[in-house]
Amino acid sequence: MRFKRVFLILFILTFTICSIDNPHFFRGSYFFGEPRIAKDNLFTSQIRFSGGGTFDGINRECKTNILQIYGRENIFELANGAPESVLDKNPGSFLDTLWQKTPANKNFGQMDFFGHFQTIELDFDIQQNFKYGIFTELYVPIRELQTHNISFKDFSTKENAGPDINFAQWQNFVRYFDSYLNRYGLCLHSSKVTSLADMTTLIGWTLNYEDTKYIDYIDASIKLGVVFPFGKKKVDNVFAISPGYGHWGFPVYVDLSVGLYEWLTLGGHLSGIVFGSDRENLYMKTANSQNGLIKITKGAATVDFGSILTFGLFLRGDHVNRRFSFLLAYRYDQQFATKLRPFDLSTFRSAIVNNDSTLKGWVMHTIDFSMEYDFATYLCPNRPRLELFFDIPVAGKRIFKTTMIGLGVSFDY
């Protein structure tokens, strides 16, 4: 019901698609856009509806399940370094001293988790031109993110437990694994988040230069602005995906394109987002040997969220048969490592906390393809453009391979 109300309000305000995109690791990134047309008082209203789902992710080097992109979960070491205040949440637990024992094989206490991810997104984008090439832009995304069909594989056996570990106790622990972790405030259930994601406001300047000899034109735009942190993660749900960054961001976009043969456009894009620091309460590592999404010790830290860099190239066939256009683009997105500065240094050592695969950032290579039909004519220039698009992650590190398929509609006034 809340989703429907937000949709109705935004639809009334914008009446319309195709937008900028702030990249995320969990799905293919949208096309980054072309330079803005430098027409005084031009108003463009756009809306985009898209979705995708996947079981597949990429870890540091190869294809895997989405819940294994950070490596195997080391449950054996979960309580290593945890303070008494945490251990007291489940007094006398088998887990408390497990890490002090010696298994016969390093696979004991290791688990792989499996799940499916899907997303539905509704994006609104408004651009308003003024004089001298100045324009403003507002980007508002709404997302529904689901992680479900959760299961796991335990690599522990009686043989690799060895004589130092009571394997029957381990089996009982695994049987009630979810309820045991509930005592530490963690939830391993499926997750569904429907939320307004991070809104972006921009101001830009654009130039359309047509006094050329060998090419049709040169277009260039630069934009800078603010990302508002509306999207927050449910930190106690291990597998919940945040719909946004959760931090204030400050993006800069540069776009350049050239026209050839009266129908072909070639262009490039470069952008970056720098984020402000924020204080958060989150689960952190207490031992170097711990790995993965599951941690039982929570504390306060200043989060220096990793900056994001984007580079892209595109080719566009513009109105190749009067109304039909197509676009093919490549984009490279990278988020650099996030750094945590914990407050309780007696529990959380900075070197250990930041030696965490979930903080190391990610890389994504995406192919964007779209087909557009323009209903506008010389006599009716305000008719809409309809777009079908595909955003396909083809390679990367620590990402979900979620191909996005969607429809877009845009109007110019």
Rounded to whole angstroms, how far apart are CA atoms 341 and 327? Answer: 44
Predicted TM-score (pTM) of this structure: 0.90
Mean pLDDT of 48-56: 97
Which pair of structure tokens corresponds to residue 351?
A: 């070197």
Residue pair 267/331 in contact (Cβ under 8 Å)? The answer is no
Helix (H), strand (E) at residue 173: helix 167-175
Q: What is the mean pLDDT of the chain?
A: 90
Residues 6+ apart with CB under 8 A from 156: 107, 108, 109, 110, 167, 170, 174
Closest among 160, 388, 152, 390 to 292, alpha carbons compared? 152
pLDDT (tens digit, 9 = 90+) per residue, 314-333?
999 988 887 899 999 999 99
Mean pLDDT of 350-379: 92
The per-residue pLDDT for 143 is: 95
DSSP state of 17: -
Helix (H), strand (E) at residue 169: helix 167-175
User: What is the percentage of the chain residues whose pLDDT exceeds 70?
Assistant: 94
**Among the listed ranges 26-35, 98-107, 134-143, which one has the minimum average pLDDT value?**
98-107
Domains assigned to the chain: 2-412 (2.40.160.40)
The per-residue pLDDT for 20 is: 73
